[in-house]
Amino acid sequence: MKKKISIIVISCLCVGLLTVLSLLWKEKDDFNKYNNPKTIVGTFSNNFPSSINFVFTQDGKAQRYVQFGELEEGTLKRIGDSNKYDVKFGDDEYVVTYHTDTIELTCSEFSEEIPKISEVPTYINVEGKGL
């Protein structure tokens, strides 16, 4: 009888331990998804008419524009396997840290967090583009 109870208790402990481990694994995956997303795609802006909009496309292009201005093409290069990217527009160089719903834009003069306004590349009042 004691042997059967011991087996049941050990089985319950094993099931409980596996449940806790699976929940911890899921939390780790959720954490990594937010803090180390795989690709940067979308449009980021502070939503001010005179603010610079940053656009990142599915094919790895970086673009920026001000409404009613011209679209400027840039380069985008991921730094290792992190959520950081080197972004260059002409003489302007930035390090962009991508956090799924925001980017942190850092250069030698400033650092600014900019929210995502669209999951897809969006062009607002740019000649020859979208809306």
Residue type, 16: G
pTM: 0.68
Ranking 36-40, 53-57, 90-94, 95-99 by mean pLDDT, the lowest is: 36-40
Topology at the third CATH level for domain 42-118:
Lipocalin (2.40.128)
Sorted by where each begins, the domain ranges of the chain are: 1-35, 42-118
* Burial of 14 from C-beta contacts in 10 A (0-12 / 13-18 / 19+): exposed
**For the segment 7-65, what is each residue's pLDDT rounded down to a tens digit?**
776 776 666 666 655 655 555 445 444 444 568 899 999 877 678 899 999 888 999 99
Residue 79 has pLDDT above 70, yes or no: yes
Q: Quick check: helix, strand or coil at residue 118?
A: strand
Ranking 8-17, 68-77, 91-100, 112-121 by mean pLDDT, the lowest is: 8-17
Residue type, 13: L
What is residue 34's predicted lDDT score, i.e. its pLDDT?
Answer: 46
